[in-house]
Amino acid sequence: MSEINKLNFLLPNRLETATSSQAEKSEDKVDFSALLKDALKDVNNAQLTADDAVQKMLSGENKDIHSTMIALQKADVSLKMMLEVRNKIMDAYQEILRTQV
């Protein structure tokens, strides 16, 4: 029992450290829905940029096919990535629904 009492002086320090680290974490929180909205806006902007590049290519305003293809690939990759994120979110949601309480 005396060995446990020797370690009691460490307890308040641990509580203060845990409380301060939790306070720091709460200040750094980012809203998940805001992150998703920003990501969707980025995907939409990539799609619009690709569409604009194709329109310029078809009208003859831009003769560089490479930049058009790069814009199309960026839009394609960003859309595929967003779809994978959506699928993972839906899988996590389904898993939560299956969890028994």
Q: Is it the case that residue 4 has pLDDT exceeding 60? A: no
Q: For residue 39, give every residue at least 6 positions away whose Cβ sits within 8 Å of its Cβ, in sequence order, or none.
A: 82, 85
Q: Is it the case that residue 56 has pLDDT exceeding 80? A: yes
Q: What is the token pair recorded at 48?
A: 């619009």
What is the distance between the alpha carbons of residues 53 and 66, in angstroms, rounded to a whole number?
A: 10
Query: Where are the extended beta strands (E) located within 5-83?
Result: none
More confident residue, 60 or 27: 60
Unique residue bearing structure tokens 């009208």? 59
Q: How far is CA 21 from CA 10, 26, 76, 96, in A?
A: 17, 9, 41, 28
Q: What is the token pair recorded at 100?
A: 């028994």
The pTM of the full predicted model, rounded to 2 decimals, is: 0.65
List, for residues 61-96, the tens digit of each pLDDT value.
988 899 999 999 999 999 999 999 999 999 999 999
